[in-house]
Structure 1
Amino acid sequence: MHYVTVEGLSKSYGEKPLFQNISFHIEEGDKIALVALNGSGKSTLLKILTGQEHPDEGKVWIHKGVTVVMLEQTSNFRENQSVLENIFDHDHPILNAIKEYEHLTDQEGEPDAHALTTAIAKMDELNAWHFDAKVKQILGKLNIHHLDQPVGTLSGGQQKRVALAKVLIDIGFEHKHTLLIMDEPTNHLDVSMIEWLENYLDQENVTLLLVTHDRYFLDSVCNEIMEIDNSELYIYKGDYENYLEKKAAREESEKASVEKARNTYRKELEWMRRQPKARTTKSKSRQDAFYEVQERAAKRIEQQQLELNVKMTRLGGKVLELKKVYKAYGNLQILKGFDYTFKKGERVGVVGKNGVGKSTFINMLLGTEKSDSGKINVGDTVVFGNYSQEGLIVKEDMRLIEFVKNIAENFPLADGTKVSAAQFLNLFLFPPEKQYTYISKLSGGEKRRLHLLSILFRNPNFLVLDEPTNDLDLPTLSILEDFLQNYQGCIVIVSHDRYFMDKLVDHLFVFEGNGEVRDFPGNYTQYREWEKDQEKIKTEQPKPAEAAAQTAQESKARKMSFKEKRELELLEKEIEALEQEKKKLDDQLAAGNLPFDQLNQASLRIGEVIQLLDEKGMRWLELSELSA
């Protein structure tokens, strides 16, 4: 089914064109990543597709049967209302029934019996239990609990997860044909959540247009990449590796084309100067062709490579030592006797679930938070560069070039030469015409890039990067990675970006909770493979008799809640229905007389049914143990 057609779309702000005369199509089942430099119009294009903005020229046609749902970078919640009220804010019978049931069963203590009976009858009447199970799965995987909590009391990361849950629930309950638009969906998600979201989007078979900096997520989810570059749109079928290859080939071709145009331009310019004022029709056509060649010849091929042999303050023999460091907030133990000595040129990744103390650890290294006990000794020659999530702080509005020159006029290189503030800005994709823009006029991503540039321009020898990839575009990430790979100082990185970590770190500090920190010798992918192997070993090992007895005793001690009893009853019915559906699908596939499209649908469905049987079977076993 054809979802969207965009023809001849153009949009400018002032004299600057974001994109000009771009056209593309979106078909059902497409999963497209939109890639561009910050400030090139990615978010504007998404808003045009959702009707929030209008183009200067061109048309957008969306099939009347298609619903467009968007996850934006910033969420517009009613902050005084609860998580539950914000998620289920549509006036739809099924959503209203689920909201009422969840509200009653999420309360502490026994719910009102009459109200609960009415809510259950409504759920039965609307056949809403299957969708309620999907809602529970989404909320559980995104670690969203306490549904009665006002949204205004949540952190930015928690609000982003609530917004993501709302979007996933919206696309799942009502609309068969939905275009899901997502702007940086992986920000504020830990890796286990990102991996779950990858699988969820793949299984749900949604039609997707997304902006993301997470290249593993992009590679896993998308089958097409659209790039806005110099106001033009380029489309690449395939994965991220194919995109990089095809883009490099395109740029080489353009470079050759520009060189050819420049040679032609010189010849044509000489001819134009020789011509008398009264020109013939033939020379007039040649004159018009000259201006076309002139435009091509003037085109700038931006170099998005950064090769700087940095001269920085020499690190002495002593860098940073942590000796028997303890840190806790109430019952939350962050460090428990942590010992480590940093060496020159070390690259450490810091990983762990949200809330285990990664940012506190970083602040302790920087000296902005104190340990409860133990010693943290910083070498005399250490110059920290701290790239925090708080972003750029500017007391008064100023132009980019003024902001950087206030830090330093020049950036020293190892060979004794210097790079000026303007040259350094240009290397970080702020061309000369952009350098006199006021900081307030920059996009969110451009401000992040300027913040990063301002940290590096101070020439530190110990970099601390807290979620550096959030809101940075892929060209800037490529530049940052190139810079850091040539960087001679120490680096500590806190990030959920697996690609970025794999490329840069030598080993990991894994915050496992309860004050335990594992020093893992390898990158993030290697750690995840090791972790999965450990989980597999645990599941294959039989439980010791004492542990089994203790588990049985704990299960016996805890009574089943009313909600769990009801869930167990429904699970038995759902499992029976799924088994019947599986048998029916098996018979249809075995008969071998289905048309191709029905055969394809049946094959996909039987996979979904088998997975649901596994999930519901495991949950049935858990609840059965409680009821025994």
Structure 2
Amino acid sequence: MAHLLGADRVTLTLGTRTLLDEVSLGLDDGARVGVVGPNGAGKSTLLRVLSGAQAPDAGRVTRSGSTRVAVLDQRDELAVGTVLDVVHGSADPHLWASDARIRAVHSGLLADVALDADVSSLSGGQRRRVALAALLVRDDEVLVLDEPTNHLDVEGVAWLAEHLVARYSRGQGALVVVTHDRWFLDAVCTRTWEVHDGTVDQYDGGYAAYVLARAERNRQAAASEERRQNVLRKELAWLRRGAPARTSKPKFRIDAANALIADEPPPRDQLALTRMATARLGKDVLDVEDVTLAYGEKVLLDDVTWRIGPGDRFGLVGVNGAGKTSLMGLLADRVQPTRGRVKRGKTIQVAELRQDVEDLDELADLRVVEVVEREKRSVVVGGKELTASQLVERLGFTRERARTPVRDLSGGERRRLQLLRLLVGEPNVLLLDEPTNDLDTDTLAALEDLLDGWPGTLVVISHDRYLLERVCDRQYALLGDGRLRDLPGGVEQYLELRRGAVPRASAAAETAPRASDAPSTAAPEGSTPSPADVRAARKEVARIERRLSRIAELEAGLHDRMAANATDHEQVLALDSDLRALAAEKDELEAAWLEAAETAG
């Protein structure tokens, strides 16, 4: 395969830290590379060097011929103008409207975004999708993505993975992506680069293969270290044989012993999240009873009932803007319902990890260890008392970083500090809103290990399927229609429902085991539909299926008309509006189909 891009003995130092130390690597046509490593190790710096945005201190970056590199930065710094201007610039509409690949990008990323909307009015998730679309419609040979899944929902992540695999499996360029989303790494990448301690280790395969290969390397390193320690003990014993005799010992033996002592490698993987005491939970935790939540004309929750008991572990997914964070605010008592109530158990102690890290801004002048000391100066773990400084060290803050002011922390370090503040409060109910944001894979593994044995109640909002499927026992969804839906089939059922595969999603729901006390938003518990209700429901199912089939035909026709009228800017915008209206109608019909199908049996 053709060589596209490479680094030859690249070195880069920022301040006193050497992020890249004589790193050499290459990128060939058809490669799909995932980049992982601890926060602050230099992953984004490596991308900037490879893309030419930052010059190395030494070494060189090579490109084959006229290889073009497109970069998605972590910050969505979009140009001023409309979505159409940002995505296509001054390109003639007929050049892109007639291209099936570009129309697929529009459908996958911009279905709910008006092409004539000003980018300054878009939400964070919409801006991220616009920035991605602007890159994916181009034909650059190398695509470099820095945390592309940030602000994307589960559906957006799944679409992006499918698109990138289809695009780069044919050898039409290469992909380099930094992401903490382990599911995405496994679904997309064929190679993994691990950035740490100024070096880049290369592994074949995605995240799962990387973890296995790294474990084997660590095993071999441990065996080598054990042999080194055996030699070290012998040398140290030899050196201790009396001070008078030491001067007569061969100098090369002293030098060898000193080299062994100086060669002590820094410990890897020292990050550990500590499970602290958890306050006892009673039988009542949180009961959302007939709750409606509205902001002006927009109804986020419509007569929702949800019972959360002791030890329940729920994952929450849904479309952007459907009200997931608002529902979390209700559980945390930050948001009050428009109608209905949230009943709270007498013994619950709620801790909430919010999506942003701005709650640390008021503590910007404090040092890391001082922030923890404000919560609690010491905690007892496993019968042993740990101070605040010992706790922050367990969470990966070195002695120097523990004395660093909060304002100087990286995004990942701020996120870890948020987690520690929650845990020292010894809560029994954890509410986590996008906990994986800004965390590296090692921190995520430590977080999952902690949550695996969490004895309290857990509610998690996340687009990270790997996290949801590991730590949660059940998933629920908000689809934007004000209802909370149980997903016995998990994230895959949600994606099928969003894709319009309602019959398969319903079949999965019927065959999946259901807890006898599971809440239902479709009908009151114990109610049995009458024969007349069943007949009416079956007619409704048939009607909806006919309309869904018709919508599919109309969407195909609109795509053809967009291609035929590609030179007419106003017509393209009008057709795009019609497509979005059909998509909204389809969502409503899918929800109605699910409810009718439950009655029809």
TM-score (norm 1): 0.76
Paired residue for 2:63? 62
Q: Are 1:97 and 2:65 matched, yes or no?
A: no
1:266, distance to aligned residue in structure 2 (A): 4.0
Paired residue for 2:459? 492
Counterpart amino acid of 2:462? S
Paired residue for 2:188? 221
Paired residue for 1:581? none
1:374, distance to aligned residue in structure 2 (A): 1.1
* Distance change >3 Å, CA 261–CA 535, structure 1 → 2: same
Task: Spell out the pairing of 1:111-510 with structure 2 (5 A cutoff).
Answer: 123=94, 129-131=97-99, 133-143=100-110, 145-170=113-138, 172=139, 175=140, 178-205=141-168, 206-269=173-236, 283-284=251-252, 289-290=256-257, 292-306=259-273, 308-392=274-358, 393-395=360-362, 396-413=364-381, 415-510=382-477
Q: Report if the CA contact (8 A) 2:287-2:306 is conserved.
A: yes
Q: Report if the CA contact (8 A) 2:98-2:563 is conserved.
A: no
The alignment yields a C-alpha RMSD, in angstroms, of 3.5
* Distance change >3 Å, CA 298–CA 191, structure 1 → 2: closer
Counterpart amino acid of 2:84? L
Question: What do the CA deviations read for 1:191-213 (whole angstroms, capped 9, x no partner)?
Answer: 22211111111111141111111
Equivalent residue of 1:394, what SS?
A: helix
Structure of greater Rg: 1
Q: Report if the CA contact (8 A) 1:461-1:490 is conserved.
A: yes
* Distance change >3 Å, CA 424–CA 276, structure 1 → 2: closer
Equivalent residue of 2:361, what SS?
A: coil
Question: What do the CA deviations read for 1:15-48 (whole angstroms, capped 9, x no partner)?
Answer: 3332323221111111111110001111111111
Paired residue for 1:582? none
**CA distance in structure 2 between the aligned counterparts of 1:557 and 1:427, rounded to whole angstroms:** 58
Equivalent residue of 1:227, what SS?
A: strand
TM-score (norm 2): 0.79
Q: Report if the CA contact (8 A) 2:98-2:564 is conserved.
A: no
**CA distance in structure 2 between the aligned counterparts of 1:88 and 1:24, rounded to whole angstroms:** 33
Question: What do the CA deviations read for 1:217-261 (whole angstroms, capped 9, x no partner)?
Answer: 110110111112333321111232221111112112222322332
1:426, distance to aligned residue in structure 2 (A): 2.0
Paired residue for 1:608? none
**CA distance in structure 2 between the aligned counterparts of 1:367 and 1:483, rounded to whole angstroms:** 25
**CA distance in structure 2 between the aligned counterparts of 1:290 and 1:260, rounded to whole angstroms:** 14
**CA distance in structure 1 between the aligned counterparts of 2:153 and 2:432, rounded to whole angstroms:** 16
**CA distance in structure 2 between the aligned counterparts of 1:203 and 1:517, rounded to whole angstroms:** 34
1:505, distance to aligned residue in structure 2 (A): 0.9
**CA distance in structure 1 between the aligned counterparts of 2:21 and 2:263, rounded to whole angstroms:** 16
Paired residue for 2:84? 84
* Distance change >3 Å, CA 545–CA 73, structure 1 → 2: closer
Structure 1 window deviating more from structure 2 (137-146 vs 367-376): it is: 137-146
| 5+ long unaligned stretches in structure 1 | 90-94, 99-122, 571-618, 620-628
1:496, distance to aligned residue in structure 2 (A): 0.9
* Distance change >3 Å, CA 232–CA 294, structure 1 → 2: farther
1:329, distance to aligned residue in structure 2 (A): 3.1
1:136, distance to aligned residue in structure 2 (A): 3.0
Q: Report if the CA contact (8 A) 2:23-2:200 is conserved.
A: yes
Question: What do the CA deviations read for 1:368-408 (whole angstroms, capped 9, x no partner)?
Answer: 21112112111222211111112142323222112221221
Equivalent residue of 1:257, what SS?
A: helix
* Distance change >3 Å, CA 53–CA 537, structure 1 → 2: closer
Which gives a bigger RCO, structure 1 or 2 (Cα 8 Å, sep 6+)? Answer: 2
Counterpart amino acid of 1:53? Q
* Distance change >3 Å, CA 369–CA 68, structure 1 → 2: same
* Distance change >3 Å, CA 542–CA 453, structure 1 → 2: same
* Distance change >3 Å, CA 545–CA 227, structure 1 → 2: closer
**CA distance in structure 2 between the aligned counterparts of 1:566 and 1:218, rounded to whole angstroms:** 34
* Distance change >3 Å, CA 337–CA 427, structure 1 → 2: same
Q: Report if the CA contact (8 A) 2:487-2:493 is conserved.
A: no
* Distance change >3 Å, CA 553–CA 433, structure 1 → 2: closer
Q: Report if the CA contact (8 A) 2:42-2:196 is conserved.
A: no
Structure 1 window deviating more from structure 2 (484-493 vs 549-558): it is: 549-558
Q: Report if the CA contact (8 A) 1:255-1:301 is conserved.
A: no
| 5+ long unaligned stretches in structure 2 | 508-537, 567-582, 584-601
